[in-house]
Amino acid sequence: MPRSEPIKAVRGVRDILPAELPVWQAAEQGATAVARRFGFQEIVTPILEHAELIERAGEDTDAFAKELYRFVDRGDRALALRPEATAGVVRAYFERGLNQGPQPSRVYLIGPMFRYDRPQKGRYRQFFQLDVEAIGSAAGALDAEVIELARDWAYLERLQAYYRPLKERLSPDSQQRLERNPLRLLDSKTEQDAPFKSGAPKIIDHLCDECAVHWALVRRLLDAAEVEYVLNPYLVRGLDYYTRTVFEFFPSGASGQQDALGGGGRYDGLAEAEGWPPTPAVGFASGLDRVTELMAASGVDVITRPAADVVVVPDGDLALEAAEVARICRAVRPTAVDYESKSLAAKMRAANKLGAKWVVLLTPDSSARRSAQLRDMSSGEQEEMDWVELPTRLA
């Protein structure tokens, strides 16, 4: 038989092990609690969507084009693994009638997203987002927890007017983007484009009247909420669907080079791009991979729960008896059984490592009498009792 290498995980995706999960759970619980306090309800949308839905949401962006996991299924449909949640949430809002309920519809979602990113620390091909959306209202007050940078056509035209005479000196990518999507010129990572950025018109100096009113309200509310923020006139998000407010979150004390913990903004044009009636909305998403890494690095205390409170340890060939005793104990406590054929001492060490509070020790003799030794792992005290007494003692 030909030997083959053991099969490992796909590049850029990873397992989250039981020991790592408490931090994730703490992050998720925190996120859920905050979302609920603001009156947001959980929504679950599919990981698979029609590729067109995703592509319509942002034709020109890296995340959507280069990074999209796109494939044709057995029924010849062009599908995609969602790279983000917003497009799918907006689809569900219309398709499933949330638009008929009280507006805005406030929903949140926690789940895996997929981007064919270059894997590195804090950057994965499967990663997890907390995504928050308020769909169906144009009120600036809804943007108020966020940091705003507005964008309007007048500004884009000015930006083009500034860059057009410089076209020959820009990078080939930027030359292409100049007419199609000039805002992305500010986002260029190419050195060749860098000298022109500082002279480019700043978006906040060129807001239309309505945007200016909206922007002023958002800032007043941010100040009232004592949200600390830095105005960045060059902030360009990776997705194309934003209008008016955009923002990103960084850990406090972060340098400019650090990856964002989260980001979002207002996307009043997305519903229409998906073929639905024009509907204003605002939201954000935060990457749980990065948030949990930060929590772990800063030593956030999370209460780790033992895998099982009780471990049943049979000393000898007593699988049937051990299974029955475990069934009895499970009525009151999470209970595991050590079926391995190793020494009693080794089994006790394993139970200790699991963090078990009690061990129920079975020997052939005691089992014949339907009794067992109950050992309190913290005090070391041990006491014999009938199996039926165990639930009362463990409760």
- How far separated are the first and last CA of the chain, in Å rounded? 54
For residue 356, give the amino acid letter.
A
Q: Cα(182)–Cα(156) distance, rounded to whole angstroms?
A: 7
Contact with ligand HAM (CB under 6 A) among 23, 68, 131, 235: 131
Q: Cα(287)–Cα(384) distance, rounded to whole angstroms?
A: 51
Residue 61 vs 371, nearer CB to ligand HAM: 61
Burial class (CB in 10 A: 0-12, 13-18, 19+), 70: middle
Tokens 């049979």 found at: 314
- The yes or no reply on residue 28 touching ligand HAM (CB under 6 A) is no
| Total binding residues toward ligand HAM, as defined by CB under 6 A | 30
Nearest approach in angstroms of CB 11 to ligand HAM is 13
Q: Cα(64)–Cα(237) distance, rounded to whole angstroms?
A: 12
Nearest approach in angstroms of CB 334 to ligand HAM is 32
Q: Which strand (E) or helix (H) includes residue 350? A: helix 344-354
Query: What is the per-residue binding string for ligand HAM in 77-96, x denoting contact by CB under 6 A?
Result: -------xxx----------
Name the 3-class secondary structure at 155. helix
Nearest approach in angstroms of CB 292 to ligand HAM is 11
- The yes or no reply on residue 148 touching ligand HAM (CB under 6 A) is no
Q: Which residue in 329, 346, 341, 337 sits closest to 312, CA to CA? A: 337
- The yes or no reply on residue 284 touching ligand HAM (CB under 6 A) is yes
Nearest approach in angstroms of CB 341 to ligand HAM is 43
Site for ligand HAM in 214-253 (CB under 6 A): 237-239
Query: What is the per-residue binding string for ligand HAM in 182-221, x denoting contact by CB under 6 A?
Result: ----------------------------------------
The one-character DSSP state at 200 is S
Contact with ligand HAM (CB under 6 A) among 90, 283, 314, 367: 283
Task: Spell out the residues 6+ positions from residue 193 whose beta carbon is closer than 8 angstroms to its own.
Answer: 170, 171, 174, 185
Nearest approach in angstroms of CB 43 to ligand HAM is 13
Measured CA to CA in angstroms, residue 192 lies from 200, 358, 386 at distances of: 15, 67, 81
Residue 140 vs 262, nearer CB to ligand HAM: 262
- Establish whether the linkage from the previous residue to 104 is cis, with ω within 30° of 0: yes
Task: Evaluate whether 87 touches 270 at the Cβ level (below 8 Å).
Answer: yes
Nearest approach in angstroms of CB 238 to ligand HAM is 5
Q: Which strand (E) or helix (H) includes residue 364? A: helix 364-368
- The yes or no reply on residue 136 touching ligand HAM (CB under 6 A) is no
Nearest approach in angstroms of CB 89 to ligand HAM is 8
Binding site for ligand HAM (CB under 6 A): 63, 84-86, 115, 117, 122-124, 127, 129, 131, 133, 237-239, 260-265, 267, 283-287, 289-290
